[in-house]
Structure 1
Amino acid sequence: MTLSGVYVPLVTPFDAAGAVAYAAIESLAHQVLDGGAAGLVALGTTGEPGALDPGEQRDVVDVIARVCRERGAPLVVAANTAAALAALGGRPEVTAALTLVPPFVRPGEAGVVAYLAGLAAASPVPLVVYHVPYRTGQPLSAATLRRIAALPGVAGVKLAVGGIDDTTVELMADPPARFAVLGGDDAVISPLLAIGAHGGILASAHLATAAFVGLVDRWRAGDAEPARVLGHRLAALSAALFAAPNPTVLKAVLHAQGRIPSPAVRLPLLAPGDDAVRAALARLAGAPVEAFP
């Protein structure tokens, strides 16, 4: 299995009373799949999983899994413990787990490899390793990423290092076989695709979904000039959406579009400033809503 294309990590909308709006999740899932998304991600950071209780987490996955089953779409679920991974075994719609490099403890690169090897061996589904060192505090070299790619049960990486750094360039100069590299920094997805990434897990693709799908398709086809033009426009949109902590601006824009019942987020997140929301709406108005011709 090689994952590719645009995967959308769905937000968790809340209603006016603060409860999870499950019907809105279902609607969003259908909308982004209608826009050409290759698959969905449940309980990613964009979905505020730490603010959901266990029952809400389970119910969110149930709703998204049902849509994926109806649509024949792959589902990736964030799972970072052996118990969370084991719970995915009874869900045939789940094709992979998004598993974070262990945060905060900074176990060293050998420790990361051993940790992921243990989880992969116990998991009923392949892992997509989420490497986001500006959050976890644990850098990884290209050599270590290759060791991770060689682990049985590891299908790919969500690469979110804050840009196109030397490690990314070294990895993509000779990418491991049958190992999906998916971009996780929305604003730099275009240059990552240009050097060979297979796709992305992109919160921004809740909006202008078809355009993000078109961006991947253009780079795959080698249509560099239209891909660059489209990539610049989408990068500006992504930067505006991430001007405040994710997914605060995104949810405000989705609410302004009438796609979710409220812009609410749960603590520790706070609502974004009005200026940030207005700027994102302005960028969206200038972004393409269909795949670039």
Structure 2
Amino acid sequence: MNWTRTVGARHASPMELHGIHVPLVTPFTADGAVALDALEQLARDSLDAGAAGLVALGTTGEPGSLTDAEQDAVVELCRRVTAEHGAVLTVGAGHGGTARTAEALGRLEGRADAALVAVPAFVRPGEAGVLAHFRELAAGSPVPLVIYHIPYRTGQPLGAGALLELLALPQVAGLKYAPGGLDEQTIALLAAEPRGVMAGDDLFLSPLLALGADGGILASAHLETARFVDLHRAWADGDVPLARKLGAELAEVSRAAFAGPNPTALKALLHRAGRIPTPAVRLPLLAHH
């Protein structure tokens, strides 16, 4: 059975965002320092397995618990590794306020290909406020933006119309889409065939790809990276039987990776596999057992 995606007219994007991107954990040594050697190996393993890009300082990387110097070291390491592989580096940036977020974006010039910026959390500015926030950021950002829509954490739902307006902004490269499920807004969003919609809820990667998403930004893709890449390729190639099989199998991988607050269970699995020196996280997170 063949399945092909119909591509209609889409807005011009400052970059192509597609494939599987891995938002890296920040491994720690036994004495609590950032384990840069282990981080570099995770980055190289992900790209060698076919990932199209990496995300540094996403929520999976515990950026709020890192010092400025540690954040800089993580970004510079990831910049070097992605440059060697010809891959995309996206760096997490953003605060509740527009001005502070703009300052953070300004510091990424020459250091990242894109910035992952969440919808402002907790303040719930409404759809009009979110649109104004991102218009302001897009107008001045030195790097393309990937908007992170995760309403069960931000408290701010957005309909398909608002998301399409955001994706049409000239300095917006894509959307990390993590609504917590699939509903009529999901159908309406993907029916419009926007470019750069990336699955952000790991469990829903396969159905979102089936509906037309361009890829995924997935913490669980630390594990079985090549098979996540194969799943993306299977839907793109129209190999529905393989895509369904891989989707079901990898949903179990994602469940295991999210058995505790992210990235606690994922770090436990990576440590058990000998890929990071400890399963340690920093407060307020507690290590998963």
TM-score w.r.t. the length of structure 1 is 0.90
Report what 1:236 is aligned to.
252
Q: 1 CA distance for matches of 2:257 and 2:90? A: 23
Unaligned ranges ≥5, structure 2: 1-14, 95-100
Give yes or no for contact 2:121–2:156 (8 Å, CA) kept in 1. yes
* 1:284 match: none
How many residues align structurally?
A: 269
1:183 to 2:199 alignment:
yes
Of residues 138, 148, 170, the one that matches 1:120 is 138
Higher relative contact order (CA 8 A, sep 6+): 2
1:147 deviates by 1.0
Number of the residue aligned with 2:175: 157
SS at match of 2:180: coil
**Partner residue, 1:87:** 107
Q: SS at the partner of 1:20?
A: coil
- Which residue of 14, 18, 25 maps to 1:11? 25
SS in 1 for 2:34: coil
Residues 6-48 of structure 1: per-residue CA shift (max 9 Å, x gap): 0000000000001000111111100011110001000001000
**Corresponding residue of 1:276:** none
CA deviations 1:94-114 (Å, max 9, x no partner) are: 211101101100000000000
In the alignment, the residues of structure 1 paired with residue 138 and residue 192 of structure 2 have an alpha-carbon distance, to the nearest angstrom, of 24
- Map of 2:262 onto structure 1: 246
Partners of 1:69 and 1:143 lie apart in 2 by: 36
Q: Which residue of 2 aligns with 1:283?
A: none
Runs of 4+ in 1 over 4 A off after TM superposition: none
CA–CA separation in structure 2 for the residues paired with 1:200 and 1:172: 14
Question: CA offset at residue 90 of structure 1?
Answer: 2.6
| CA shift digits 1:167-225 (9 cap, x unpaired) | 1111111123xx30000000110000000000000111111000000000000011111
CA distance in structure 1 between the aligned counterparts of 2:179 and 2:38, rounded to whole angstroms: 31
1:27-42 map, 5 Å: 27-42=41-56
> 1:48 corresponds to which letter in structure 2?
E
Deviation (angstroms), 1:2: 2.0
Q: Measure the CA separation in 2 of the matches of 1:95 and 1:51.
A: 24
Residue 146 of structure 1 aligns to which amino acid in structure 2?
L
**What is the one-letter code of the residue matched to 1:159?**
Y
Amino acid at match of 1:269: L
- Which amino acid counterpart does residue 242 of structure 1 have in structure 2? F
Match of 2:287 among 271, 282, 285: 271
Cα deviation 1:61-113 (Å, max 9, x = unaligned): 0111111122211100111111110011132xx21110110110000000000
Match in the other structure for 2:126: 108
Distance 2:114 2:77 in 1: 17
Q: Does 1:219 align with 2:229?
A: no
Quick check: 166-175 or 14-23, which moved more?
Answer: 166-175
Partner Cα separation in structure 1 for residue 27 and residue 199 of structure 2: 24
Identical pairs, percent: 62
Letter in structure 2 aligned against 1:87? R
What is aligned with 1:173? 191
Out of 54, 57, 77, the residue aligned to residue 91 of structure 2 is: 77
SS of the residue corresponding to residue 107 of structure 2 reads helix
